[in-house]
Amino acid sequence: MPSPFDAARPYRLSPDVALRPEPFGALAYHFGNRRLSFLKAPELVELVRGLGGHGSVREALAGVPEGRRDALRCALASLAAAEMIIPSEPSEAEPQR
């Protein structure tokens, strides 16, 4: 069972997940638990791909318009519950490009 979602922690895309771009956003498939998730907004796809480059989810959401943050935070919590994104240690953060 995954740990509760905590926006103060860093997260990253699970290495067991593949993202397939689609016109609406992307499909996320978890090869371990065989779950399929629909990322229904291109900005969510960009956020998920970039999570590993931030020290926390809050930091990753700082660049998102304030009116969209709650919806995206809720979507990330759902992705964490499905193990599409996983907690990472700050030292695991990918360098930003």
Q: Which two tokens stand for residue 95?
A: 């360098």
Architecture of domain 11-87: Alpha-Beta Complex (3.90)
Average pLDDT on 16-31 reads 97
Does pTM top 0.95 for this prediction? no
CA distances 70 to 7, 20, 75, 77, 96, Å, are: 11, 24, 9, 10, 24
User: Which pLDDT score is estimated for 63?
Assistant: 87
Query: Residue 6: pLDDT above 90?
Result: yes
Query: Residue 90: pLDDT above 70?
Result: no
> How sure is the predictor about 89, in pLDDT bands with cuts at 50, 70 and 90?
confident
> How sure is the predictor about 3, in pLDDT bands with cuts at 50, 70 and 90?
confident
